[in-house]
Structure 1
Amino acid sequence: MQDLTYAQKARLAVRSFQTIAHALALKGYYRPSEKMGQSLAESLENLSPEIYGSMNDPRVVELSGLEYVIDRLPRGIEECTRIILTEEEEFDNHIFEKIEPLRRRRTCYRISKKEMCFTITRGLSEIYDILTHLTFLNSEAAKIHRRMQDESGARTVEWNELEKTVQRIDTLTARELEQAIWNLSIILGRPYHQTRASFASFEKNKQERKGNNGLFSLICHLGKRVEEEQNARENALIIYLTPSLMNIIGHQKYGEKWAYDIKKRLRILNLHERPLHIISANLHSVVNLIYGYGAMQQAEEDLYEFILRIRDHREEIRRYAGANGFYDHPDRSGTHIDCQVIDTARIGSVPFHPGLRFSIPESGGEKPVFLVMDYAFGIQAFEVMDNLLTPFDEDEHRIPMDVRSVSVMGKAGILTGQKGDIMLANAHVIEGTSDNYIFQNDLKPEDFDSDVAVHAGPMITVLGTSLQNRAMLKKFRSSWNTVGLEMEGGHYQRAISAAIIKGHISDAVKVRYAYYASDNPLASGQTLAAGEMGDEGVRPTYMVTKVILEKILAG
């Protein structure tokens, strides 16, 4: 029998994870400590995702992976033994604490000290995301528990000290804090400087954004949860997936509400018959480029230096924009996708930065309308775009929209360059399916400044941020010539192609896909777990936005 390659083993692990996740959703619950939960963990361990670093090393606790996961789960998740995933959204007039994770747009509720509820509104990708993070967290909890006791079964000195630290964390002197971090590094199997850096990162998010309960508390609760589970079965962690959860899969409940609300707003503003340009992007770069110069009346300078200087003037720019054709459209559907509408017929007197080549059409009927939508999440991209491109039904009349272009500006992992580079897709390959989409990208490398590297080629649309490893990514690069990986592009293109086939939009619609490299999963220390890019991400982000707007407003 022929041995499987590492890439083939990784693909089997991903397929196994998917299959088990679907089976668990149908069953309705599972305990990570029991057979199906362990099978899920084995699939993730066999995959050994790059983003989870040393997950499979039993000697050490993976700190960067822990920080990444905790930033994307609700505060206090480490204390809970009952976790519910549901599509139920009727939590009005409740007494439960509503919690939104620091770096993931999802709604969670703390039902009790031991119970957390996730409201799933973003489809299968969100379910995969939560289950992978919970599986990783449970794996690290087991490692921590093993380091609570010595060979005789007695509590270690380090663990006893950790429990004391948690009790008096707010009264520690500077010297006592450093001693506590040293002690924690022994429990974690990590060097002192790594533990110190992780403590500082956790503490910053705890103090400034209430994103977590701190590193000491996290480690202590994870270890004690496993101990309590081993002492009594009723303390075992259990994860429920309610029957109603499966109702959202393929039914597009939230996408329909979201799209209807947007098209109704365009109708109210009397913009529904004007040329429409849809832009999937962040909610700062388009408004800042169009209105920032006029709002701030700054002296002429380099465009990107100018953007860096005005980023803290959000409210002034929004007020100016609101008087010149800009409309905020917060999400009311549960998709967590806010939007903005910009009527270019009302920006004729707005001065643009000299570094921008914008030209507004003279004809009023041809002046474009921008619909800027915040990032979708994975498979959700198909649901929202499919519904958005469907003609608006009103009083038994179908009102098609004059969609001229769809532009997707995102961040992605790069496979052929380095962080900060730009990637242009000429095809999307959806991982784990036979869905491959080739298209004519209206963006070309020569559209961009020469001081930024631009890579053009296929992009792989992956199942989740945590469901790849090095072998898989190298195989994608060698067999498909992929330049990067992301989560939404293939699903957007699937919806665009479907809308053209159904006659909802013209086949002449322009499509634009550009991504800036937020991480390099093949380079050590450059995965998503390494953190945000910061100021170095401004130039590629705004360069992509600039080129997209110049294409739409070409003079």
Structure 2
Amino acid sequence: MQALTKAQKSRIAIRSFITTADALALRGYYKPSGKSGQTLADALKMISPEIYGTMNDPQMIELKGLEYVIDRLPRGIESCRHLILTAQDEFEHTAFEKICPLKRRRLSYRVGEYDMCFIISTGLSQVYDILTHVTFLNIEAQKIYRQMTMANGELTNEWQNLEHTVKNLDQLSTDEIHQAIWNLSILLGRTFHETKETYEYLENNRVHYQSNDNLFEIIYQIGKRMLAENDNRNKMLTVSFTPALKEMIGHNPYSEKWAKSIKDHIIAADLEKRPLHIISANLHSIRNLLYGYAAARDAGLDLDNNDLYQTIEMLRNKNQLIREYALKRGYFELSNIANIMIDVQFIDTTYFNEMAFHPLLNIQASHFSDNPPLIVVMDYAFGTQAFDIFDRLLEPYCIENNRTPLNVHSISIMGKAGILCGKKGDIMLATSHVFEGTPDNYIFTNDLLPTDFDGSISVFQGPIVTVYGTSLQNRDVLEKFKNTNWKAIGLEMEGGHYQRAISAAIIKSHISPDIKIRYAYYASDNPLISGQTLASGSMGKEGIKPTYMISKAIVEKIFKGNKK
């Protein structure tokens, strides 16, 4: 029998993780240190995501992966013994502490000293994301426990020193902090520099965003939990899934309410007959591109007419100025709709005849003649949520029992993705979406072409893989997608789900088969290159130009298509 390749083993591991996670959600609970949890841990170790670095090293605690996970889980998660995943937000008017992680749009509530409740409103991708991070944390917790205990069961000097540090942290001098970091580095199996770097990263987030505790406290609480768990099985970490969550799988009521709210606002504003252009993007680039130049001129600011991106850079801190200007000229917004954390902007271009645009933005007054378009910009979805919200949004609206399709002319998806054939900051144009782990794939004609960009940034065109999660990426699988006949150029989490909903809407005659479809991504990371993975940090200013270059291409296509 032919031996399996690394890529084949990894694909089996990914499928095993997802299948086990689905089964546990239906079962209703599991213990990460129990048999079911070990199945998830074994699968994750086999996948060995680049973002989790040294997770498979039994003597080294993975610090960059820890930073990544702490940024995406609620503050205090390290001390919790019971994690509850539910679909119902029953805590809005209670005294329970409401917590939102630094880098994930998800609500959690601290409902007890050792209990954390996650509100799942975005679908299965959110469940996979949480379980992946919890599995990683528990793998690291078991390593910490082995490092803090000796063969005879007694605690090491390093652990006792850490306990003293945590209890006296407010009184420690800088020199004593450095000594404590040195002691912690021994416990973690890392160098002093590596430990200090993570300490400073988490401390900066703690001070500026109150999004997490300090590194000493995090490691100490993880160790305390493991001591309690090994002393008393009743104190083992448990993850529970409520019946409400199980009922939501396959039918997301949040998305239905969200879509209805958007269509109700369009109808209330008497805009339902307008050409409708839907954009999934961030909530700054389209608005700033369309209104920023005119708002700045109106305020008397000096701008560079010869460099659009330099102008955008100058306007980065003028969001309030731009928003106030836009609100008087056809712009309005909806936020906190149905608790799914996807805010929406509406741009009625009727007012654009009276506005000035940057000379390098190809929008002219002749484009807004008889029937000016309505642009709806929605924030990024998360994984499978993309299908749920688009499936509902593209359904006909109903007035007095009459179902009428929305007048959708184009759908544009822009965002960030991992790249397989280039570097951070490059642009990718999808020609198809290929689902990881299933035979499903979707081919389409992308209305965006490399010639729509000025050549100052590399543009790649080809299939893009839709993955289960950022923390379930495997180098061997991705290299196979890149180097075999798939010739994939990148990976992300939503494209295939969006296109599945679009294809379904076309089949059901909810939208025209001639609709313009656009997919463009800028590369936030390259998971195949060390130092360019997601764990290496955000792009910062480097992301401005590709983001606005894609935004420019989309809005110019919209108005070129609307030209009489």
What is the TM-score when the length of structure 2 is the normalising length? 0.97
SS in 2 for 1:485: strand
SS at 1:497's partner residue? helix
Q: 1:422 aligns with which of 397, 409, 427?
A: 427
Note the alpha carbon deviations across 1:135-176, whole angstroms, 9 max, x for none: 000111111111112344332222111111111222221111
Structure 1 residues 385, 520: closer, same or farther in 2, change over 3 A?
A: same
Aligned sequence identity (%): 55
1:125 touches 1:463 (CA, 8 Å); kept in 2?
yes
In structure 1, C-alpha distance between the alignment counterparts of 2:2 and 2:328, rounded to whole Å: 68
For residue 550 of structure 1, what is the aligned residue in structure 2?
556
Residue 299, structure 1, aligned to residue 305, structure 2: no
Q: Secondary structure at the match of 2:58?
A: coil
* Cα distance in structure 1, aligned partners of 2:368 and 2:322: 27
Q: Secondary structure at the match of 1:377?
A: coil
Of the candidates 522, 543, 546, which is equivalent to residue 540 of structure 1? 546
1:74 is paired with a residue whose SS is coil
State the partner residue of 1:160. Answer: 160
**1:191 corresponds to which residue?**
191
1:56-91 deviation per Cα after TM superposition (whole angstroms, max 9, x unaligned)? 001101011001011000000001001000111232
> Is the 8 Å Cα contact of residues 344 and 360 (structure 1) preserved in structure 2?
no
Corresponding residue number in structure 2 for 1:44: 44
Contact 2:463–2:490 (CA under 8 A) maintained in structure 1: yes
Letter in 2 for 1:299: D
Assess if the C-alpha contact under 8 Å between 1:285 and 1:541 holds in 2.
Answer: yes
Question: Out of 341, 349, 352, which is 2:346 matched to?
Answer: 341
Q: SS where residue 353 of structure 1 aligns?
A: coil
- Distance apart, 1:95 and its partner CA: 1.3
Task: Please tell me whether the aligned partners of residues 276 and 402 of structure 1 are also in contact (alpha carbons under 8 angstroms).
Answer: yes
Name the CA distance, whole Å, in 2 between partners of 1:511 and 1:117.
Answer: 38
Alignment of 1:47-126 (within 5 A): 47-126=47-126
Query: How do 1:278-317 and structure 2 match up within 5 A?
Result: 278-297=278-297, 298-301=301-304, 302-317=307-322
Output the CA distance in 2 between the equivalents of 1:306 and 1:112: 49
Q: Would you say the 8 A contact 1:300–1:353 is kept in 2?
A: no
Give the Cα–Cα distance (whole angstroms) in 1 for the partners of residues 254 and 9 of structure 2.
Answer: 36
Given candidates 531, 534, 549, the residue that maps to 2:537 is 531
1:485 deviation in Å? 0.1
- The answer for unaligned runs of 5 or more in structure 1 is none
Are residues 1:217 and 2:217 paired? yes
Tell whether the 8 Å contact from 1:72 to 1:101 is kept in structure 2 after alignment.
Answer: yes
Q: Specify the alignment match of 2:392 in structure 1.
A: 387
Determine helix, strand or coil for the equivalent of 1:553. Answer: helix
- 1:517 maps to which residue? 523
RMSD: 1.2
**In the TM superposition, what are the counterparts of 1:229-244 in structure 2 within 5 Å?**
229-244=229-244
Q: Does 1:477 align with 2:482?
A: yes
| Contact 1:274–1:365 (Cα < 8 Å) also in 2 | no
* Partners of 1:303 and 1:164 in 2: CA distance: 55
Contact 2:59 2:147 in 1 (8 A): no
Task: Decide which moves more: 277-286 or 462-471.
Answer: 462-471
Q: Which amino acid aligns with 2:187?
A: I
Contact 1:87-1:248 within 8 A present in 2 as well: yes
User: What is the one-letter code of the residue matched to 1:540?
Assistant: P
Of 353, 360, 363, 1:355 maps to 360
Question: How far, CA to CA, are the matches of 1:119 and 1:192 in structure 2?
Answer: 38
CA distance in 2, matches of 1:426, 1:343: 30
CA contact (8 A) 1:10 1:468 kept: no
**For structure 2, which runs of at least 5 residues remain unmatched after alignment?**
none
For residues 387-418 of structure 1, the C-alpha deviation after alignment (integer angstroms, 9 at most, x for no partner) is 11111012201121110000000100000000
* Farther off after superposition, 87-96 or 1-10: 87-96
Contact 1:51–1:528 under 8 Å retained in 2: yes
Matched, 1:487 2:493: yes
User: Which deviates the most, 292-301 or 487-496?
Assistant: 292-301
Q: Distance in 1 between matches of 2:472 and 2:399?
A: 42
Q: For each residue in 1:322-349, what CA deviation from the matched residue of structure 2 results, as whole angstroms up to 9, or x when unmatched? A: 0111101113212111000000002222
Q: Is the 8 A contact 1:85 1:119 kept in 2?
A: yes
Residue identity in the other structure for 2:497: H
Equivalent AA in structure 1 for residue 515 of structure 2: V
CA distance in 1, matches of 2:287, 2:367: 21
CA distance in 2, matches of 1:111, 1:214: 22
CA–CA distance in structure 1, aligned partners of residues 423 and 94 of structure 2: 47
1:464 and 2:469 correspond? yes
Q: Distance in 2 between matches of 1:496 and 1:27?
A: 33
Rounded to whole Å, the distance in 2 between the matches of 1:363 and 1:412 is 33
Deviation, structure 1 residue 9: 0.3
Of 298-307 and 219-228, deviating more is 298-307
Tell me how far apart the structure 2 counterparts of residues 423 and 326 of structure 1 sit (CA, whole Å): 29
Contact 2:279 2:375 in 1 (8 A): yes
State the 1:299 CA deviation: 2.7
The one-letter code sitting in structure 2 at the alignment partner of 1:371 is V
Q: Deviations over 1:405-438 (max 9, x none)?
A: 0000010000000000000000100112222111
Query: What SS does structure 2 have at the residue aligned with 1:413?
Result: strand
- Once superposed, which parts of structure 1, at least 4 consecutive aligned residues long, lie more than 6 Å away? none
Q: Is the 8 A contact 1:331 1:339 kept in 2?
A: no
Within 2, Cα distance between the matches of 1:549 and 1:68?
Answer: 34
CA–CA distance in 2 between the matches of 1:468 and 1:8?
A: 13
Aligned to 1:54, the other structure's residue is in SS state coil
Amino acid at match of 2:38: Q
* 271-280 vs 155-164, greater mean Cα deviation: 155-164
SS in 1 for 2:442: strand
Partners of 1:45 and 1:434 in 2: CA distance: 24
Structure 1 distance, partners of 2:296, 2:187, is 52
Residue aligned with 1:264, SS: helix
Residue identity matched to 1:15: R
Q: Which has the higher mean CA deviation after the structures are superposed, 290-299 or 205-214? A: 290-299
Letter in 1 for 2:468: L
Partner secondary structure for residue 212 of structure 2: coil
Is the CA contact (8 Å cut-off) linking 2:350 and 2:368 kept in structure 1?
no
1:360–1:553 contact (8 Å) kept in structure 2: no
Q: Structure 2: how far apart are the matches of 1:365 and 1:190?
A: 66
Secondary structure of 2:523's partner? strand
What letter is aligned with 2:280? S
8 A contact 2:367–2:559 mirrored in 1: no
The one of 431, 438, 447 equivalent to 2:443 is: 438
Q: Within 2, Cα distance between the matches of 1:361 and 1:259?
A: 32
SS at match of 1:332: coil
Q: CA-to-partner distance for each residue in 1:293-350, whole Å, 9 max, x for gaps?
A: 1112233322212212211111111101101111011132121110000000022222
Which position in structure 2 is the counterpart of 1:181?
Answer: 181
Amino acid at match of 2:375: F
Letter in 1 for 2:93: N
For 2:245, the equivalent position in structure 1 comes to 245
- 1:403·1:509 contact (CA, 8 Å) conserved in 2? yes
Partner amino acid for 1:472? V
The AA in structure 2 aligned to 1:246 is K
